[in-house]
Amino acid sequence: MTKSNPKPVFGDQNDFFEEVKGRKTALFLDYDGTLTPIVSRPEDAQISQEMKDLLAQLAEKYTVAVITGRDMDDVKKLVGLNNLVYAGSHGFRISGPDGLYKEHEKTSVLLPELNIIEKELMELQKKYKGVQIDRKRYAIGVHYRNAKDEEIDDILADFEEVLAKNPGYKKGTGKKIVEIKPDLDWHKGKAVLWILQELGLAADDSVIPVYIGDDDTDEDAFEALETDGIGIGIMVEHSGNSTHASYTLKDVDEVATLFKKLL
């Protein structure tokens, strides 16, 4: 069930802290917009040393997973901590300590097709100044944050043309980005549930999963945890749109403040 008015984590009632009181938190975290501010170029989104230190401390007490649209190897390199779980490409590829690993069984055969689609989308980068094509292992993003406002409708129309020519793929949306990705029944929410199951946390009532994210793709994870009361979703920088998350944080700084409270 979506909510139009989720409560602030640091609100007057302290409801969030009452919910997690006396339980171990399993933290699931988006990267861009959650651990780092959104920036014009994805390659410039570097995690701060303070945030990295907080994650390292949290990982000593809790399960910590980073769930991102970025490639798994990319985000592992950016965060640089070995004792976290990393899920890249919206959960299509997952790895963690003690041999934890999953790669969606249907994705590897799609790589040649994605290579062809990438070439088609590169034409948008040539055609429109400010468009950046971001090839991930199992998805291709079209960033238009730096494009001219008057060209955005044309950019999205050209994107839809490429998508229409490639059955078996679907559109993903985010903040100033559209993606082409495999049309498979797998997303961040299913990745979170798989990780909980594999780590033996799904049936542990002493553990409460908390997912923190800022974008449309995080809604699958919010819904997976909130629908059956499994855990808690927190939306960063809530825009006012309906969300499955129960709580909000203002920005990356408030995410860091929450981490300090949980230590």
Active-site residues: which are they?
Answer: 30
Cβ atoms 161, 190 nearer than 8 A: no
Amino acid at 26: A
Q: How many whole angstroms separate alpha carbon 91 and alpha carbon 38?
A: 20
How far apart are alpha carbons 172 and 96 in whole angstroms? 26
Q: Say how far apart CA 78 and CA 146 lie, in whole Å.
A: 23
Describe the crossing of helices 188-198 and 219-226 by its angle, rounded to 10 degrees. 50
Pairing state of beta strands 247-249 and 7-8? Answer: parallel
Ordered alpha helix ranges (H), the chain? 15-20, 49-61, 72-79, 111-127, 152-164, 188-198, 219-226, 252-262
